[in-house]
Structures are given as structure tokens and as C-alpha cells.
Amino acid sequence: MTAGIVFNLQRYSLHDGPGIRTTVFLKGCPARCWWCHNPESQTHTPETAWSQNRCISCDACLLACHEGLKPRDACRTCGACAEACPTGARELLGKVTTADEVLQSILKDRMFFEDSGGGVTFSGGEPLCQPAFLKELLLACRAQGIHTAVDTAALCPSETLLDLAPLVDLFLFDLKCADETLHQKGTGLGNRRILENLEQLGRVHRNIWLRIPVIPGFNDTEEEMAALAEHAARAAGVRQVWLLPYHGTWSAKPARLGKKPPAEALAAQAPAPQTMELFARFFAARGLDTQIGGGA
């Protein structure tokens, strides 16, 4: 059995596909989008976090640490400090686990899936960064008759995506920007492979929901939205498009990891409802079933 790294398992998710879902967050992502809601997902290994506002300076973590480290020091992520912390100020983000262990946790929610037409969503990070582990999870869910969704930015070789595609009931495909230079600037990566992956996936999979975050100062222009709508309309297999307005509720997270929030985030404002409606019309005009979602 392949070991994988999971940093969260969220029950009763209502925005990650149809029905009530359990969302499993796999660690690791090659991109560095400044608006990333889950900055703790980006590194590929477990890490420790510390929230100053929860810390009562009891020193239980210091006493528990075999290395004698302070809360923010680099560590070997054994998790002893997080276990000892009485307030949750010290956390271990990312746990090495197996598909069977994750499945047992998912199965506790089966009743909700059956009543609501829900299932499990594998998210991240970029879940396709752990393809062997993800494949085991998908096979295990299929054997149990559980509906699966994979939330991906397709940051992987096409072969990986196409190998997993037959095991996935629904793809939530994150598409961020059509212009390559802009994409590189906002995420740290070019988008050529992503666009190719969308086209290739669309040829073999008939249930793709595109999720497009609308990010101020990045892709919130008519030119970008028109270009994204062209890509969406060209890709066979796209059933729905979700436009997700930016919101900054994640912006306290970088401090937990000892990082500053990105400069762009300090200035960013959520797009106005009229702007979202205008952008939605670009997609609807190309015959795409378009929704405005809860947020990105």
C-alpha cells in the first residue's frame, strides 16, 4: 500500500461538487498562487504551524520537543509539540497515512452521501502530485460505490491525468488565466500544460466542471474572461463553469507558517456582483452552463 500525505479531511462540504461531500486535502502543489486559500498545502511534506493569538506561553511544546526547539524553529515534524499544546496554537500540518486509513474515515459519512447524492472530493494542494496514492483512494472508493470528484489545477503530466480519468466521476478543473505571462506572474508557473491537459481530458471525460477564480489585479478583465470562455467552449466534456469571486478570508493563514501575506492580498478587494454577472455572460454566451459560486 502506498503512503500519502493528507493535511485535512473536511466533512459536510457543500461547495466541492454535488450533494454533501467529504473533502480530503492532499499535500503538495508546484504552484504559488498568491491568493491560495491553503498555503499550508503547498509544501510536499508535513510542517508545523504556530498561531501567536492562540498561544498562552505555557511552554508545554518546549518541554515536549525532543530537540529543545522553540515554537517557530524548524523541526523534524514529529508532532510531539502539537500533541502537547493545550490550545491548538501549535499544529502539525500533514499526516503520513494510507488509502485504507483515509477510506475508513470517509466511510463514516456514507449515510450523508446516499441521502444527498454526494460523495468524496480529493483536493489539495494539487492532488495529482500524489498520483499513486490518489489512484489507490479512487479505486477504494469505486469498490465501495462512492461518487468521487477530483479538484485539480492539472499541474501534472497528461499521462498522469489520463491514467486516473476513468476512475473519476467528476473533475473540478481549476482554470486561472489564459495569458501565459500573466499566469506565470500570478502562480509562478506557465499555463501551456494546463490548457493542453484540459483539451486532452475533455476528449476522454464527459463530466468536467471548470472552476475559475476571479482574482482582482490578476484575471479580472473582460479580455481575460473572453479568452477563458473561448478555452472553456473549445474543451469537450465541460458541463458547467463556476466563477468564484475572490475573498480574503484566508489571509491570516500565512502568519501561522511564519510567512507574511503577499503584498497583492493586502490591496485586493472582492469583485462587485455586477462584475461577476458581466463575466458570467461571456461564458453563457458560448452556450456554457455558468454559475457564480461561493468564493475563491
Give the three cell numbers for residue 284.
Answer: 453563457
Q: Which is nearer to ligand SF4, 246 or 283 (CB)?
A: 246
How are beta strands 238-245 and 208-214 bridged, if at all? parallel
Task: Report the C-alpha gap between 101 and 3 in whole angstroms.
Answer: 10
Backbone angles phi, psi at 251, to 5 degrees: -70, -10
Q: Which is nearer to ligand SF4, 60 or 78 (CB)?
A: 60
Smallest distance, ligand SF4 to C-beta of residue 279, A: 19
Site string for ligand SF4, 10-29 (x = CB under 6 A): -------------------x
Q: Residue for cell digits 446516499?
A: 114
Smallest distance, ligand SF4 to C-beta of residue 76, A: 17
How far from chain centre, in Å, is Cα 86?
29
Task: Report the C-alpha gap between 127 and 104 in whole angstroms.
Answer: 19
HSE of 47, CA atoms in CB hemisphere, 13 A: 18
Backbone angles phi, psi at 4, to 5 degrees: -135, 170
Give, as ranges, the residues between 184 and 203 that touch ligand SF4 (CB under 6 A): 187
Give, as ranges, the residues between 101 and 160 that touch ligand SF4 (CB under 6 A): 124-126, 153
Q: Which is nearer to ligand SF4, 6 or 20 (CB)?
A: 6
Rg (the chain; Cα; Å): 20
What DSSP state is assigned to residue 128? G
Site string for ligand SF4, 75-94 (x = CB under 6 A): ---------xx-x-xx----
Other CB atoms within 10 Å distance of the CB of residue 45: 11
28 close to 68: Cβ distance less than 8 angstroms: no
End-to-end CA distance of the chain: 34
32 lines the binding site for ligand SF4 (CB under 6 A):
yes
Smallest distance, ligand SF4 to C-beta of residue 265, A: 12
Smallest distance, ligand SF4 to C-beta of residue 85, A: 3
Smallest distance, ligand SF4 to C-beta of residue 162, A: 20
Site string for ligand SF4, 50-69 (x = CB under 6 A): x----xxxxxxx--------
Q: Which is nearer to ligand SF4, 34 or 283 (CB)?
A: 34
**Interface residues with ligand SF4 (CB under 6 A)?**
29, 31-33, 36, 38, 41-42, 50, 55-61, 71, 84-85, 87, 89-90, 124-126, 153, 187
